[in-house]
Chains A and B, each alone.
Chain A
Amino acid sequence: MKINRSDILLVAATAPIFIFFTLPIAYLISVSFKTKDDVLSGHFLPTSPTLDNWPAAFEAACLSGFIANSVAVSLLAGALTLLLTLPAAYAVLRLGIGGKWLGDLTLSSYMAPPIVALIPLFYLLKATGLLNTHAGLVMLYGFANIPVAFWLLTPFLRRMPLEIEQAAAVDGAGPFRILVHIVVPIIVPGIVATLIIVSVLAYNEFLFASAFTFSDETRTLPVGISLFQGDRLVNFGQMAAASLAGIAPVYLVALFLQRYLVAGLAHGGLK
């Protein structure tokens, strides 16, 4: 292992990038262990670290309830998106149903900012009695993330060798059996990546959640954190602790399933 000048240059270039992308989270961690006075010092590290902020953050708001709501809603919504999109994407891309325009339209529907659908969806949820319910959010995210799932699954489906499906069709297997027994096992990485990404999108979503939930029983975590800042003013230490508690689930997922994530995102960007 010889170290030459270009290696040193690369490290020198990488260091500021590394610092920039880790600093906000590192500071959040640091502030979560600071006392009230210590926060005001503006130093990076806590001078006399305290553990008080963490339990205090959980007591100040129904933080564990918010996290539970978010986890439940995002997992159910992610599963719903996948269940709706996988057969549909297969039908469009492999069975030739609906033609090219349907795939294009599905993808282009993602272009409109969510705010556009805010008012109409408010009335739709109100009419169906789904306002301020978890079921409403699950349905909403489940359908809203179809374009993303479609985009992520497309390259995986396209790359499948057609011969296997043809052979199964010749043997008399119907589309359902082909999809479940042949396609799904082959594209497991794509399915996992899609499931993670659409679940994370649902977990992180704020606009609809803040507009369509208005009680602590239904509120999701981003909404809970946003309230932390307003009427339930707490100190920075608690806010940092609460935010980190909410970030933890997604980071754990990212850590353990990063292989799928990077692969899923990378394939999605390529034709």
Chain B
Amino acid sequence: MTAIDFPPARRRAASTTADHGISAHRVIGWLWISPILLGLASTLVYPTLFLVALALSKSTLGKPFRSFVGLRHVRDVLQDPLFVTSLTKSIAYAFITASTQLAIGFLIALLFSQLLKAGRFLVSLILLPLMTPPVMVGVAWKLILAPAGGLLNGVLLNLGIVDAPVSFLGDPVFAWFAIAVADVWQWTPFVVILSFAALSTIPEGVHEASIIDGASPLQRFWHITLPLVAAPLSSIYLLKLILSFKVFDLVYVLTFGGPGFATTTTGFSIYRRALEQFDVARAAAETLIYSLVIGAVLWPVIRIHQHLERKDA
């Protein structure tokens, strides 16, 4: 807690300028944080209350809150096998992509940190995927994976590995793989930049001392580097998990949730239910359940992260 120390009041009367100054600053301070409060109210408090009300009532897009129906929508959602499957898939997707990207990204950052001058250049270059609008990332990978005129099929055909073009996005397993690869392409750079920054905070002397002590590179990595970056890595992992739960654009462009419902994430199923079927009440119930599930899934990760932070402090 750091507050600016204002000059102490010379007199204790309530009307002194100094006192007046401090209370005026409090007012300004609260005025300044009002956007955050308004933001929290409009993106957190209001949506939550609205969704609860919507989930408990009979509603159409044009006429919400027609009548109270209790937990009917919630029950329907929980009994919907497609929804439950989408939850499982979303959770699996988040953990698999976040873990993969943490591993690849950290290894790339280690590699780049060995390349003194070129490392910085490579870090800048790797920014580009991160900046690319996700919709365009989807388009680029779609062109690579297309059956007719796709680069991957062209290569496979020319090498004689396949006889006829393969429809990668038409296959339930490959389609997931395609979304994950596009996700890796887009977000691994983020992990690289943050890991690179974490690695660059390790003092040079630490490594030199361990080399003098005769530690092997592997020992140095395991006993020195890794513990020093454990806390930042856990925060990167948490951040990437959150971002993976937000995946939407890639699904929309690459597979539109297909083939069938194979790559329908929970987010995508809510989108379709709300904006294609206009079943806002049921979409609201799905949304609430989804939020609770994400909270429950992220909770242990957050606890581990806090534990590592405390160890660092």
How far in angstroms is the closest Cβ of chain B from A228?
8
CA distance A247 to B130 in the complex (A): 11
When C-beta atoms are compared, the residue in chain B nearest to A204 turns out to be B133
Whether B3 sits at the interface, judged by CB under 8 Å, is yes
A170 with B136: in contact, given A24-B141, A109-B44 (CB under 8 Å)?
Answer: no
Whether B277 sits at the interface, judged by CB under 8 Å, is no
Whether B161 sits at the interface, judged by CB under 8 Å, is no
How far in angstroms is the closest Cβ of chain A from B110?
10
Query: What bracket does the count of chain A residues touching chain B fall in?
Result: 35 or more
Chain B residues, Cβ within 8 Å of A122: 274
8 Å CB interface, A221-243 against B: 221-222, 225-226, 229, 236, 239-240, 243
Whether A60 sits at the interface, judged by CB under 8 Å, is no
Interface size on B, residues (CB 8 A): 101
How far in angstroms is the closest Cβ of chain A from B149?
4
8 Å CB interface, A1-53 against B: 10, 13-14, 17-18, 20-25, 27-28, 31, 39-44
Chain A residues, Cβ within 8 Å of B30: 91, 97-98
The stretch of A110-118, A130-138, A184-192 that contacts the partner chain: A110-118
Whether A180 sits at the interface, judged by CB under 8 Å, is no
Whether A78 sits at the interface, judged by CB under 8 Å, is no
B298 x A111 contact (CB < 8 A): yes
A143 x B6 contact (CB < 8 A): no
A254 x B128 contact (CB < 8 A): yes
B133 x A27 contact (CB < 8 A): no
A25 with B252: in contact, given A112-B291, A123-B64, A269-B198 (CB under 8 Å)?
Answer: no
- List the interface of chain A (C-beta within 8 A of B): 10, 13-14, 17-18, 20-25, 27-28, 31, 39-44, 84-85, 87-88, 90-98, 100, 102, 105-106, 109-124, 143-144, 146-147, 150, 162, 165-166, 169-170, 174-176, 178, 200, 203-204, 206-207, 210-211, 221-222, 225-226, 229, 236, 239-240, 243, 246-247, 250-251, 253-254, 258, 261-262, 265-270
Q: What are 11 A-B residue pairs whose CB atoms fall within 8 Å in the complex?
A: A10-B115, A91-B28, A97-B30, A98-B33, A102-B33, A106-B36, A120-B50, A121-B47, A146-B39, A175-B32, A261-B127
